[in-house]
A and B are shown apart, each in its own frame.
Chain A
């Protein structure tokens, strides 16, 4: 595929992520912070988000497997996940966290379990999409092109 087509593909892909609600304005803010001095800034922040999220989701899974659930602790974890997804603009994950927190507050085990499944699902989708987007960007850079704004 030629460079121009790659760039067009990236722009379309990126636009779809916003249109479909996977990403919000905050992701754009992050991109605007990237410059020649720090060309991997977005990838680095998003990678931190992935690490953080995976850890939190694991801990949430474990928490829900317990006989006696510590809803307060769970809520704290969901709050963290909500915070980091908000910071990178992962809109759907963030929105699900809000619902999740309500279930934690209500100490609703079933509600929490359902929510956790949904968050895991949304998280894996946005992760895949972001990784695809980064791959496209890398292809463009490798072809000697620049990433369209």
Chain B
């Protein structure tokens, strides 16, 4: 039983395994579909606690120990009862085993301070809900690219290093509500890339034409 899981891994090296965390049934179903359409394997759980359990960060062995499927990306809702997405993000980024996994926060509320805090804690991106297929496709494509870059030079830049750097510089850059940290390249705190497109896209789509 313990060996079989590892053997399976090699066949699906191209398919990303995404862990989706959301307390809403409706949103879980939608995100699952969005990810499957984007050719990802999905594990959808309803809470931060369940997510930690799955990863084995709660002290138990976790499901990963059994099926050997590495999680390549975590997408979590921000507002959840019990543990928020922000708290989950912190726990993941503070774990040596899982800190490298990109974490994307999703929220229906476009609050600048919230976005900044998430990015400062190491979130890759902050998506305003409802999440669109184009967002998911882009994210998963970036993840695959990042995986390939890693493979090539064997080095990984740890974004957590930001905490050793000057905090003040990272919070002053966000001029637009939705921001992205660049994938897979060395991150200089003064170079945080802001994507003004994200939230304005949402705002535009609210209008019916």
Contacts and interface: CB of A to CB of B under 8 A. Distances in A.
B29 A86 contact: no
Contacts of B81: 76
**Size range of the chain B interface in the assembly:** 20 to 34
B206 A86 contact: no
A33 B24 contact: no
B91 to A, nearest CB: 22
A58 interface: no
B205 A48 contact: no
A49 to B, nearest CB: 5
B22 to A, nearest CB: 9
Give the interface SS of chain A, mostly helix, strand, loop or mixed. Answer: helix
Contacts of A80: 23-24
Interface in A4-36: 18-19, 21, 24-26, 29-30, 32-33, 35
**Size range of the chain A interface in the assembly:** 20 to 34
B129 interface: yes
A51 B24 CA distance: 12
Contacts of B33: 33, 38, 41
Nearest to A89: B130
A145 interface: no
Given A30-B30, A48-B29, A83 B133 contact: no
